Structures are given as structure tokens and as C-alpha cells.
Amino acid sequence: MQGHTAGGFHGPILGSIVLVEDDPSDLDLMLRALGRCSSPPAVTVARDGEAVLDLMRTWLNGAPRPSVVLLDLQLPRRGGLEVLRDLRIHYAASTLPVVVWTSSGAADDIAAAYAGGANAYVVKPLRFEELVATACHIQHFWCQCNTTLD
């Protein structure tokens, strides 16, 4: 449900995802995988860290927020951990679920993501069938099951 709050921004658009991905191949695969979910989400693509912050500014101005942000770590212009930090300090996105979605399984990256306020950390599966299953699990939980603060 969308809802206007006393804070001045709208609640999430249920079933919507902001996918932050700069790699064209990974982007295409993830969009195809999400399209195979039983309830395909509305997806907004941000190709770099600055684009995510531009979206956040629209939320500050009253635009509805997504259900979840899928955030890659390796991004041009502003890295994923820096974007995560910026999202967490701005009130329009401070409670917005952020799932780090990356190819790195490095312990330092995982620790840094959680320390920065990530809600989950998922390593991108290599096989397409696993990617579809993982994408649909993420979509189901974060877009259908999870309850957020508006």
C-alpha cells in the first residue's frame, strides 16, 4: 500500500525494486530472472551510485519509495558501501530495506555491508536457474512478505 506520512514522503510502492547494477550482462540476467517470478516486480534501474542518490532525492520530495533496493558493491561514480551509508543517514531512506547483491563473497565486504546497515547480503549465483530462484525468493520476501515503516 502507498501512504502519505507525516514526514512528507509516500510509503513504498509494493512490489517495486530499485536494482542498482552497472554491468549490462548482470543487469539483463537479473531483469530476466525477476521477470520469471510468479509476481514480477516493477523494477527501476540505477546504473551507478549517483543515480541511486538522485532517486532518494525524489523520495524526499514525495515520490513513493520502492519495497527494496538491490545494491551492487562495485559501482562507478560512487561505490555501493558509500551509497549504503548515504541511504542510512537520510531520513527518506533510513528504514528502506537494502539487500547487497554482489559477486563478492569476501568476508571483509560482508562485514562492511552489515556494519553499514545492509538488511541482507546475497552473492550472485553463477547458474541462471539459481539466479531465478534467488531473485524470486528476494522478490517474494521483500516485496510481498516484509512489512516496512512508511
Grid coordinates given for 57? 532525492
Q: What percent of the chain has pLDDT over 70?
A: 89
**Long-range CB contacts for residues 129-133, cutoff 8 Å, separation at least 24:** 131/29, 131/30, 131/33, 132/33, 132/36, 132/37
- Give the C-alpha separation, 60 to 46, whole Å: 17
Grid coordinates given for 40? 514480477
In the chain the domains, ranked by start, together with CATH numbers, are: 16-141 (3.40.50.2300)
Q: Is 100 helix (H, G, I), strand (E, B) or coil?
A: strand
Which tens digit of pLDDT belongs to each residue from 2-51? 333 333 334 444 579 999 999 999 999 999 999 999 989 999 999 999 99
